[in-house]
Structure 1
Amino acid sequence: MAMDFKQGWALLRMALDRASLYLPIILMGALALGTYWLVRNAPRLVQPAAKEAPIHEPDFFMRDFTVKNFLGTGQLRSEMTGKEGRHYPDTDTLEVDQVRVRSISPQGLVTHASADRGLSNGDGSEIQLFGNAIVVRDAAVQPNGRVLPRLEFRGEFLHAYVDTERVRSDRPVILTRGSDRFTADAMDYDHLSGVANLQGRVRGFIAPPTPGARR
């Protein structure tokens, strides 16, 4: 019995010695498995969402509306009405059906504009008129006594600049100044200089001046 006990103990010692040789490998394997488990089960960081490119879709609508712009002094600068309006945030523009605009210059000149459809920039300083476009400046008398006759522009497209009092078009237009009438393929009118640059096929009719009238 003593001999069997010694042999058993020797075999156990040999098994423990051999196991101790592989212990570092076993521990490293267990550590690797534990690390892999932690990585697989750890909560993932929220990835930042990619910024989407703006799309040309309206972010709000208006129906049967009126929008007014005022100067710093509180004076009315312009007034826009329409049947329906759609604001596009990517371009900061307002598209209006059956648009009507009335503007008043710092000198008190009143201008009216209308069209089947209008496209205004964010601050209302520019408006593009499409379809049956009309821009009319009412007749007025300047402080020096000079009479400004009624001025009218007609065409399928007109681009009106409210702040600089300018009207442009790259399409056929009809310009009526008092009793005078002109047609052209394109036009650039600057009220500040009083010059209308007519381009393309230009035709005009200038009425005889009224006796005593200042042109």
Structure 2
Amino acid sequence: MNAMLQSAWNRLSIYLPILLMGVLALGSYWLVRNTPIFASADVAAPPTHEADYFMRNFSVKNFDAQGHLKSEVFGTEAHHFPDTDTVEISQVRIRSVNPQGLVTVSTADRGLSNGNGSEVQLFGNAVVVRQAVVDKGVVVQPKMEFRSDFLHAYLETERVRSNKPVTLVRGADTFTADSMDYNNLDRQMQLDGRVKGILIPQPAK
């Protein structure tokens, strides 16, 4: 009997490593099947050039820290694009006021403003009009008017630029050029390309 048990044990010991490996494999398979899967945190998708909000027949006012009106924007429709933080405005009209109270009005068929409204690109029938500067009833600086198919207005730095043909009316004088860069703070005007001017003589005082 002992010989039979010894023989059976010897045969079992031969297959014992295989049996243990099988048990371990089954255990590993069970663990894999029953281990909960933790979903990775959703990665924020990059913003696309699709409007995240819009306005119609609107008016938006912007004030400085002292509560003084800096600008007011009108339009028939506006769309904000988060990827570029810009606002596209149809039939745009912007009334801006500098710290000295000088008013500038910008209009166009379409406008593209940056996020904080400090600059706007005007497309189609673009017009920027700066009112005359009057001191004690005397005109120190005449009214200025810029007209072009495209104007880039920097409202805070009081600058107007264009790489398109432009017409400038300053008081009674008229100038045309292929491009323009005007800085009201520095009182500097640069006209490039085919520049033409019509100067109207002022009446003798």
Whether the TM-score (by the shorter chain) exceeds 0.5 is: yes
Provide the residue aligned with 2:7 in structure 1.
Answer: 14
Preserved contact between residue 189 and residue 197 of structure 1 (Cα < 8 Å): yes
> Would you say the 8 A contact 2:132–2:139 is kept in 1?
no
Paired residue for 2:100? 107
- Secondary structure at the aligned position of 1:211 is classed as coil
Match of 2:16 in 1: 23
Aligned to 1:163, what secondary structure does the other structure show? coil
Q: Would you say 1:135 and 2:103 are equivalent positions?
A: no
Tell me, which stretches of 5 or more residues in structure 2 are unaligned? none
Amino acid at match of 1:136: V
* 2:179 maps to 1:191: no
Report matched runs for 1:1-215 at 5 Å.
6=1, 10-142=3-135, 147-212=140-205
The CA distance in 2 between the partners of 1:197 and 1:144, in whole Å, is 29
> TM-score, normalised to structure 1's length?
0.89
Partners of 1:103 and 1:14 lie apart in 2 by 105
Please give the secondary structure, in 2, of the residue aligned with 1:35: helix
How much does 1:142 deviate? 3.9
Tell me how far apart the structure 1 counterparts of residues 145 and 139 of structure 2 sit (CA, whole Å): 19
Structure 1 residue matching 2:121: 3-state secondary structure = strand
CA distance in 1, matches of 2:198, 2:110: 30
Deviation at 1:48, TM superposition (A): 3.6
Larger Rg: 1
Partner Cα distance (2:123, 2:74) in 1: 15
Deviation at 1:143? 7.0
Q: Quick one: percent identity of the two aligned structures?
A: 57
Contact 1:62 1:85 in 2 (8 A): yes
CA contact (8 A) 2:145 2:168 kept: yes
Kept in 2, the 8 Å contact 1:175–1:181? The answer is yes
Q: Which runs of 5+ in 1 are unaligned?
A: 1-5
Q: In 2, Cα distance between the equivalents of 1:207 and 1:116?
A: 31
Aligned residue type for 2:184 = H
The aligned amino acid for 2:126 is A
- The number of equivalent residue pairs is 205
Give the alignment's Cα RMSD to 1 decimal: 1.7
Query: Post-superposition, which runs of at least 4 consecutive aligned residues in structure 1 deviate over 6 A?
Result: none
Separation of aligned partners in 2, 1:44 and 1:30 = 24
User: Aligned to 1:90, what secondary structure does the other structure show?
Assistant: coil
